[in-house]
A = this chain, B = another copy of it.
Amino acid sequence: MPNEPAVKNLDSMEDVWDAFQSDLNEVEVQIHKHLHSHAPLINTVAGHILNSGGKRIRPLLLILGARMYGYIEKDFLLLGSLIEFIHTATLLHDDVLDEADIRRGQKTARRIWGNQASILVGDYLYSQAMALIATFHNHGINEVLADACRKMAEGEVLQLCANSQPDLTEAAYLKIVEYKTATLVAASCKVGGIIAGASLEEQAALYRFGLHLGMAFQLADDRLDYAADRSRLGKSLGQDIRQGMITLPLLHLLQTCSTLERTWLTEKILSHSVDDHDLQAILVLMKKLGSLAYATVRAREYVEAAALELEGFPDSTAKRSLAIVSCYMVNRDQ
């Protein structure tokens, strides 16, 4: 069957990067091609964060979603770069909201150029993405990406309101994760399907795949904040609880610890006074009560739910790659 593309054996993310290097290179070309504002500061600030070592996971998911069907016209890879623009816009705003000085081991844009530049360049990247997305004249793509942007903003506001609320429920936490992280991952996968001419049912399966994967990714990331080797992650352990952010390991701990421990934890969260000594005590408690293991189990459940969504698609290098990317996103330790 000469028209059947060969299905490659893939063992690792390196193999996936290799297999789709050409598409990813084109995404990179498009990213730089569309940073051409009249305002040189925009190109400088956006270039700083876009060149700071992001893994381009969302563009990769778009590519894989499309490559499950074979060929993608080169022009469509622009959409991968625009999704990266949207993601980068949220990072620029997040760093202002969190008063963050370091991202990916480098000074944040707001630290170098100030909050004003970070807010405005975020606004620019977001609207530049929307303006270029509109040129594709594809309602499905417009709608899924605009919806993702709206939900991301809502998720961030829900997170802001949940700050320092020890009574946050797991359901409310999961809604925040879905909105702030999973919807853009889901949209990336679905846009890949739309580009490649997938049916509405297949587009919906790709969206659900991405939604589960995005949930798993954020849960793993939230777990990592209590478990990562701080030198490899490039940031300190326990940043979330220090900022009053309540994530799954802490939720589990709050629900399973003794009344006395809960009172102590609540007081620490409300007063934003978690020091290194407190954090060590919290980590010991989490280990004892299995809070990190719980987060791992929940993340794996989402990965399994994601895998189920792909069952209907025929075997291909891209489909195998999606499985490897899923593992990579959840198991990374840096």
List the interface of chain A (C-beta within 8 A of B). Answer: 37-42, 93, 96-97, 115-117, 119-121, 123-124, 126-128, 130-131, 133-135, 137, 139, 142-143, 146-147, 149-150, 152-154, 156-158, 160-161, 175, 179
Q: How would you classify the secondary structure of chain A's contact residues: helix, strand, loop or mixed?
A: helix
A131 contacts which chain B residues (CB < 8 A)? 143, 146-147, 149-150
Measured CB to CB, the closest approach of chain B to A70, in angstroms, equals 27
Ranked 7 nearest A-B pairs via Cβ: A127-B149, A124-B153, A131-B146, A134-B142, A123-B153, A39-B157, A127-B150
The answer to whether A157 and B41 touch across the interface, beta carbons within 8 angstroms, is: yes
The answer to whether B154 and A124 touch across the interface, beta carbons within 8 angstroms, is: yes
The answer to whether A116 and B97 touch across the interface, beta carbons within 8 angstroms, is: yes
A131→B183 CA distance, assembly (Å): 14
Number of copies: 2
The answer to whether A135 and B130 touch across the interface, beta carbons within 8 angstroms, is: no
Measured CB to CB, the closest approach of chain B to A91, in angstroms, equals 13
By beta carbon, the residue of chain B nearest A89 is B123
The answer to whether A120 and B175 touch across the interface, beta carbons within 8 angstroms, is: no
A153→B127 CA distance, assembly (Å): 8
Instruction: Jot down 18 A-B pairs with beta carbons below 8 A, ordered by A.
Output: A37-B154, A38-B154, A38-B175, A41-B160, A93-B123, A97-B116, A116-B160, A117-B160, A121-B157, A123-B149, A123-B156, A124-B154, A126-B153, A127-B149, A130-B149, A131-B143, A131-B147, A135-B143
Measured CB to CB, the closest approach of chain B to A162, in angstroms, equals 10
The answer to whether B143 and A127 touch across the interface, beta carbons within 8 angstroms, is: no
A123→B158 CA distance, assembly (Å): 13
Which one of B116, B123, B127, B137 lies within 8 Å of A146 (CB-CB)? B127
A147→B129 CA distance, assembly (Å): 10
Measured CB to CB, the closest approach of chain B to A293, in angstroms, equals 31
The answer to whether A153 and B93 touch across the interface, beta carbons within 8 angstroms, is: no
A41 contacts which chain B residues (CB < 8 A)? 157, 160-161
A142 contacts which chain B residues (CB < 8 A)? 134, 142
Measured CB to CB, the closest approach of chain B to A253, in angstroms, equals 26
A160 contacts which chain B residues (CB < 8 A)? 41, 116-117, 120
Measured CB to CB, the closest approach of chain B to A334, in angstroms, equals 28
